[in-house]
Amino acid sequence: MGKRVRGKPLLYGDGKVFLAFCPSSGGIFELEPEEFKALKENLPEAEELKRVMLEYDGEKYTVGDFIGHLTSLGIELERLNAPAVVIFELTRNCNLNCKHCIVSAGRPLPKELKTEEWLKLVDEISDYAVRLTLTGGEPLIHPGFFRILKRAKEKGLSIRLLTNGTLVEEHSKELGGLLDARIDEVQVSLDGLKQAHDSIRGEGSYAKAIAGVKALVREGLPVSVAFTLIPENRGEALGLYREVAKLGIESFRIAWGLPVGRLRKAVPYAEYLKTVEEVKRASEKLGVPVSGGELGAPLEVKAESFYPCAAGTSQVFIASTGDVYPCLVLRYPFFRFGSVREEKLIDIWRKRGWERLKRDLSGSDCEKCPLFKSCRGGCPGESLIYRGDYNAPSPACRMRVEKG
């Protein structure tokens, strides 16, 4: 018997597709159903499979690559048979009152799921999912947060925690004891240097968030910083990037703030792309990767009938009240597919109706665009927000910007 793989490999199995990711060797492996079962149940015959995975010496992948591969499969296969990524909006409660919050977080909603209900969901999704994303509101405010996180780690799930960072420092030891730096990630939101950030999120929030980032880095955890470009923080991205790049973060993400929730007006998409490129140039010297405005992997899709992205094909979002949507942005009655208080998530996922997520861009400029198979018309949620039409091309169009 060779060296043991620390913990179980990450596993995805939906009855049709069976895959494993070994974080120790960086390998992604296709499995037979019986191999998946052996690894999932930690049967004796799984030891040889683990040894082979540990000794893999080919191209090295990350957990992000693994999830990206599942996303591509979800689109190409016209939906996976079970979600690979599940997002829990633990609560709408938040200790901040950010000017651009997409869900206008502040107070908890009536009839939010209780801790025991979330724990039951963790047990359910661990049968098939790879990653659990915890968000809010502010997830660390939820009274059952650490019980939910601990259960998810006991079940072998990869974790992505989205936080405003203000409560992180006091909980950093607990987070460091539960999270695995090879497969888990904490994303902290920062919207500029002190003056700009505090004007958007509240006095003193910048210092607390920076302290949280430093505490997580001391714990050896991978931290990404998320910056959302809105009219109030124009010109702040580069200075913030230079500051946080010194702290040992893993990556820096720039998002385009959408006029929904508390935000009433967005910056032009051309300005967003210019900001991204400016910060990416700085990253060539400072070394911390910058993301924003990228296109997806080229996939064989046809303009008249296709699933555009991870939402509803490999990923699902559960609101704090238990309602099920494809993603946070598509939180519209038309895209509510059920409630986990009434049905199991897997049954909601497999019932009819999800085909309404298919998009039709035939006859649009997108159909003949050389970037179509990568862009797929952009985010359909953005199309709904800006144009009121799921099947309209997204306003976030790189080609349109380049053509002027």
DSSP track, 34-103: HHHHHHHTT-TTHHHHHHHHHT--S----HHHHHHHHHHHHHHTTS-SS-SEEEEE--SB-S---TT-TT
Q: What is the mean pLDDT of residues 383-392?
A: 93
Phi, psi for 346 (deg, rounded to 5):
-65, -35
| Distances 117 to 153, 184, 339, 341, 351 between C-alpha atoms, Å | 17, 23, 12, 8, 22
Percent of the chain predicted with pLDDT > 90: 94
Q: What is the mean pLDDT of residues 119-129?
A: 97
Residue bearing tokens 């990524």: 85
Give residue 2's pLDDT band: very low, low, confident or very high (50, 70, 90). Answer: very low
Residue 1, pLDDT above cutoff 70: no
Q: Alpha-carbon distance 371 to 303, whole Å?
A: 12
What pLDDT does 137 receive? 96
**Residues 336, 325 contacting (CB under 8 angstroms):** yes
Give residue 294's pLDDT band: very low, low, confident or very high (50, 70, 90). Answer: confident
Give residue 296's pLDDT band: very low, low, confident or very high (50, 70, 90). Answer: confident
Residue 7, pLDDT above cutoff 70: no
What pLDDT does 138 receive? 98
158-163 and 131-135 beta bridge pairing: parallel
Bridge partners (DSSP) of residue 339 are: 323
Percent of the chain predicted with pLDDT > 70: 98
pLDDT tens by residue, 63-111: 999 999 999 999 999 999 999 999 999 999 999 999 999 999 999 999 9
3-state secondary structure of 359: strand
**Residues 262, 302 contacting (CB under 8 angstroms):** no
Query: 229, exposed or middle or buried, with CB in 10 Å at 0-12, 13-18, 19+?
Result: buried
What pLDDT does 5 receive? 36
Average pLDDT, the chain: 95
CA dihedral 88, 90, 96, 102 (to 10 degrees): 40
Residue 403, pLDDT above cutoff 80: no
Residue 8, pLDDT above cutoff 80: no
Torsion sign across C-alpha atoms 136, 138, 143, 147: positive
**Residues 109, 63 contacting (CB under 8 angstroms):** no
What pLDDT does 78 receive? 96
338-339 and 315-318 beta bridge pairing: unpaired
Q: Alpha-carbon distance 193 to 233, whole Å?
A: 9
pLDDT tens by residue, 39-51: 999 999 999 999 9
Torsion sign across C-alpha atoms 349, 15, 13, 120: positive
Q: Alpha-carbon distance 289 to 287, whole Å?
A: 6
What pLDDT does 285 receive? 95
What pLDDT does 399 receive? 85
What pLDDT does 404 receive? 65
Q: What is the pTM of this model?
A: 0.96
Give residue 398's pLDDT band: very low, low, confident or very high (50, 70, 90). Answer: confident
pLDDT tens by residue, 183-233: 999 999 999 999 999 999 999 999 999 999 999 999 999 999 999 999 999
| Distances 147 to 116, 140, 328, 393 between C-alpha atoms, Å | 9, 11, 24, 42
Sheet holding 18-22, edge to edge: 10-13, 18-22, 27-30
What pLDDT does 4 receive? 33
Phi, psi for 178 (deg, rounded to 5):
-105, -35
